[in-house]
Amino acid sequence: MKKAIILSLCLLMLAPLLTSCGSSPPDNPLEAGDNDPYGRYEKPLKVTIAKVNNSNPNLPDGMTMLDNPFFDALKEKLNVELEVVWLADDYSQQLALNIMTGDVPDLINVLDYLTYKQLVANDLIQPLDGLMDIYGNEYMKSTYATYGSDYFDFTTADGRLMAIPGNSGGYQQNLLWVRKDWLDALNLQPPKTLEEIIYVAQQFMQRDPGGNGPGNTIGINSHREHSFRGVANQYGLETICYLYDAYPGNWMTADDGSVFYGSVQPEMKQALTQIKSIYDVGVLDIDSFQQSWEDIRMNVQEGRCGLWFTGWGFGYNNPDFNNFLPDAELLCYPAPLDESGGFTYVDGNNVRSWYAVRKGFENPEVLFKILNVCFDIWLGFDEEYFEKVTSIREKGSNWTSAIPTGDFNIVQYDIIPVLGEATRRYIDEGVMDQTLIPSDQYMVRQAAAWANGTSSANGDWMVYLSRYIGSPQTKTGIENILKPAFSYTTETMSDKWESLYALERDMYRLILSGEMPIDYFDEFVTQWYEMGGRVITEEVDTLVRESRGG
């Protein structure tokens, strides 16, 4: 049986990360002696960027995506004038067109790996070796140190660091969320094993603690054939698959070092056999295959379901839940557990996006200076400007629409459980963790305000549910964390993956809805390899071996 390699959480220091990407830092592009991460330019420095357009950013009055305190601060503190050369709904497609003409912005937010590879292949971006070491502030450098020595492997070409990855953080696994008020009403204990989960779901359906009426309560809410995407999948069923060493939607490493796609392995057939049996007893709703995403989301929000799988941030992802069900009580925890009481899950690649710098741009260090200033504001190190953007937090606005660097984050690997424990301790014991950065302390106080009844703001409820209820359950000591070998895009994937993934989704739908027998899985696997899966597997294996220096 193929088994994925377990990730070690022993994180390495930052220095080897950066110095290994090149023999030495490039010449300092500024005047001699000016290595200041916040050094202000004597003359206005015009810098072009591009951003993803958000048709409904929900920003506070007086702020727009192109005019807000972040842009003001860059002008005041760095003498940098940012010009957003284009906003695009389909950002990646627009950037691909720009790559074809060679007309790219000075600073390039890269949203997918294939685009990064195209920028390198077309010689449109320049190396960034050593620049973080010189111009990154202490928060940036200490944060990247939490990700380990291989974090930059896939953004290194010919030994040179060509882009910096933005962080998504670890601990994004799905947890089991349960209506606690329903458990209490039926005098049931929180279920931990798969058998217990099925039993509790049946009790919810039969005894109807939500008052939905006979036959109207769903056992476990799921996202139809989309329940096997891999990582951070709302209403997914991946955690059930992990009980059978099946890793749908993920490229994993076998014992011999080769790479395999989890959705086409024999273990996945075994997992689907078990999940089909859960559909057969009615705990998973066969009618979900006829439901839209909005219908599935509303199953939970309107109180038709008491069990579902999703990540720690359920409150953030479902901001209207409390408005629909103000009396509902929720709890979450890692489940289902395996026979030894452990909980296995696949971690993400922890990369949110990348930033690269146009080749020929004379001030590549400005990328790091801009990140320093923007995140000092957003994280609260800059108290003056933090006050100017707190309305973004209070309103629950999309912060990536306001910050000039868009969907790029700098966050330590384990911030989710760290902030969760800090929130729990402050609410339960009244002790604030003074090591938290200012913005995290602000969130802790938001959660506490909701918990002690001094706030009725929905934004504070979102923080409370996600940080007090959800986050502490991401690291409980029973986790076996698996790391995917590859989470990006290959050349053949760009042409074939859409059809292959459609084939995969159809297989799930046909088998789980009962239209095809479980042995149809074998036919699917054969088709998957013939339609491009074999070539893609070879490409992924080659890229992974190259990243390892093999």
Q: What is the pLDDT of residue 123?
A: 97
Task: Find all residues with CB under 8 Å of 168, minimum gap 6, and list them.
Answer: 348, 349, 350, 351, 352, 409, 411
Give me the residues paired with residue 83 across strands. Answer: 48
Q: What is the pTM of this model?
A: 0.85
Tell me how far apart the alpha carbons of residues 302 and 139 are, in angstroms, rounded to a whole number: 42
Q: Is residue 509 exposed (0-12), middle (13-18) or buried (19+ Cβ within 10 Å)? A: middle
pLDDT tens, residue by residue, 459-501: 899 999 999 999 999 999 999 999 999 988 888 998 999 999 9
Domains of the chain, with CATH numbers? 15-169+349-402 (3.40.190.10), 175-340+483-524 (3.40.190.10)
pLDDT tens, residue by residue, 140-174: 999 999 998 788 888 888 889 999 999 988 999 99
Query: Is the separation of the CB atoms in 220 and 202 below 8 Å?
Result: no
pLDDT tens, residue by residue, 20-67: 333 333 343 444 347 999 999 999 999 999 999 988 888 999 999 999
Dihedrals φ, ψ of 25, to 5°?
A: -65, 155
Query: Is the separation of the CB atoms in 406 and 50 below 8 Å?
Result: no
Q: What is the pLDDT of residue 57?
A: 87
Query: Is the separation of the CB atoms in 134 and 27 below 8 Å?
Result: no
Dihedrals φ, ψ of 50, to 5°?
A: -135, 155
Q: What is the pLDDT of residue 32?
A: 34
Q: What is the pLDDT of residue 151?
A: 87
Q: What is the pLDDT of residue 545?
A: 87
Low-confidence ranges of the chain (pLDDT < 50): 1-33
Q: What is the pLDDT of residue 288?
A: 87
Assign residue 148 a region (left: φ > 0; alpha: ψ between -120 and 50; beta: otherwise). left
Q: What is the pLDDT of residue 550?
A: 57
